Amino acid sequence: MRASVSDSATTSFDNAGGGVTPRAQVILGWAIVALASVGLWLFLRGTWSVDLTAIYFAAHFIGQGDPDLVYLPGANIRVVDPPAAWAALAASQGNPDGKLTPYLYPPLWAALLAPVVERVSAQGFFDAVNALNIAALAGTIWLSFRLIGSSRIGFGTWAALSLALGVGSGFGFFGLWLGQPQIIVSFVTLLAFVLLAGRRDLGAGAVLALAAAMKLGPALLVVIFVMERRWRALAAFVVVGGALAAASVLMAGWPMHQAFLAKLAALDDSVMISRTSAGLEMMLYQIGAVIDGTAYWSVPLPVLEPEPVWIGWVMRLVLIAGAVAIWGMTRTLRKRPRIWARLFAMLLLAVVTNPLPWLHYLILPALMLPGLVVFLTPARTVTVALAVAAVLSLPLFLWMARVPALTFPQAGLHLAVALGLLALVFWLSRRPGPANRPLHPERSRL
């Protein structure tokens, strides 16, 4: 009898796709998103989007026949002393003193965009991508709502919470202001798992391959296909990913890919020290530095330090153990809550173990956070979301950023939030509730 009650209570999680949402709530939600989008566009239009300089400059140099200028030598996450060609290009675009970022993406996108940047100014390019970022943000909010497919919380409330978390946070605001492409990557990544939840496996694999071709990070999420035993999705990921890789080599040439791989290897052998980090690696490094007597506490700008060998091994073990734990802790969940929990948890795990654990990697988990409603009551979901929004808010971020000595406490706060949310998902996944199903349904009927 208990099994049948549980089954009826969870039907909406397996079958609903958002269609039961009241029309008024959908209209309200989209009105909130549209208003926020207009405000963001008015704010961002005409800004020098620092994180987009890497893409524009790389595409420009490929178009000019200077591919050697795309990947700057060595491990670097900032352009402190730009090469003469970079400085000249910045000056030609009317911003000789504008900050620049190095190109750390696959060569494919610089090659594809080379013909585009020949016809548009840097500012025009920034404005166009910022418009895409805003559209991707709106789309991600809607997709996160559709992934859960539950009518327990209206889209109006969902949209307001997502905007508070994804735009009102320090990392969300600066991700938009800097023009961070991760926002578009987040949309494409989430689309893959919405398709997976809808049993469109081939599309899910193909779309995730596209996300991984934009930034390599989403490739780690293919482990969810394995957890779900969705072999067609896995096959589509491999085939489409291989095709994109081949296209990248054909368009950009193998030497550029060698430079890209060398760049990744150099970054992987480094530890990023920054207040805009959410990584475990930085904290382990600081513990070792304190023991060695070489610790420093004030870090005004992000720096890279050589990674001790033991930290690299610890991070690999944490990643593997974490993925196994996510699989084990979520096995008893129903389909949509299970896919949501696995994606949410893997995204958090990927951030804390990433060699470059920038805060903007938290944008997608933040936008997904209202999905806790499949485990909690709507009131408790709102409480948790607002508490996280307050801790990660832009005002608190800016206040801590003004105090040089708070570099490690601020980064530690970000790490604590990520680990706390990961622990919360683990606990909720094992707690009896409507998102759970009997591990052995056939036995529960006896």
Element (H, E) at 227: helix 222-227
Q: What is the mean pLDDT of residues 264-290?
A: 92
How many structural domains compose the chain?
1
Q: Which residues pair with 271 in a beta bridge?
A: 305
Task: Give the mean model confidence (pLDDT) for residues 406-422.
Answer: 94
Average pLDDT rounded to a whole number, residues 379-401 = 95
Q: Tokens 């949509």 belong to which residue?
A: 336
CA distance 183 to 354: 17
- Counting residues of the chain whose pLDDT is more than 70, the rounded percentage is 91
pLDDT of residue 357: 92
Phi and psi at residue 397, to the nearest 5°: -60, -45
pLDDT value at residue 7: 37
Euclidean distance between CA atoms 104 and 107, whole angstroms: 9
**Residue 324: helix, strand or coil by DSSP?**
helix
Average of pLDDT values for 411-425? 96
Q: What is the mean pLDDT of the chain?
A: 89
Which are the contacts of 27, defined by CB distance < 8 A and separation ≥ 6? none
* pLDDT band (50, 70, 90) for residue 300: confident
Scored b (16 or more CB within 10 A) or e, 17-43 reads ebeebeeebbebbbebbeebbeebeee
- C-alpha to C-alpha distance for 445 and 3, rounded to whole angstroms: 7
Q: At 81, is the pLDDT very low, low, confident or very high (cuts 50, 70, 90)?
A: confident
pLDDT greater than 90 at residue 231: yes
The pLDDT tens digits of the residues spanning 391-411 come to 999 999 999 999 888 989 999
Separation of first and last alpha carbons in the chain: 10
Structure confidence at residue 310 as a pLDDT band (50, 70, 90) = very high
Range(s) of the domain holding residue 113: 2-444
- pLDDT at site 79: 80
Comparing CA positions, the residue from 74, 390, 351, 338 lying closest to residue 228 is 338
Task: Name the one residue in this structure whose structure tokens are 């040439």.
Answer: 253
Q: Using CA atoms, how far apart are residues 203 and 209, in angstroms rounded to an integer?
A: 10
Residue appearing with tokens 């054909």: 250
Section 34-46 average pLDDT: 96
DSSP 8-state class, residue 169: B
Identify whether the C-beta of residue 401 lies closer than 8 Å to the C-beta of residue 410. yes
Calpha distance 330→353 (Å, rounded): 20
How high is the pLDDT of residue 35? 96
Rounded to 10 degrees, the C-alpha dihedral 339/340/344/346 comes to 0
Strands (E), 176-309: 270-273, 303-306
pLDDT at position 164 over 50: yes
pLDDT of residue 28: 92
Q: What is the pTM of this model?
A: 0.90
Rounded to the nearest 5°, which phi and psi values hold at 169? -80, 160
Angle between helices 155-166 and 23-44 (to 10 degrees): 20
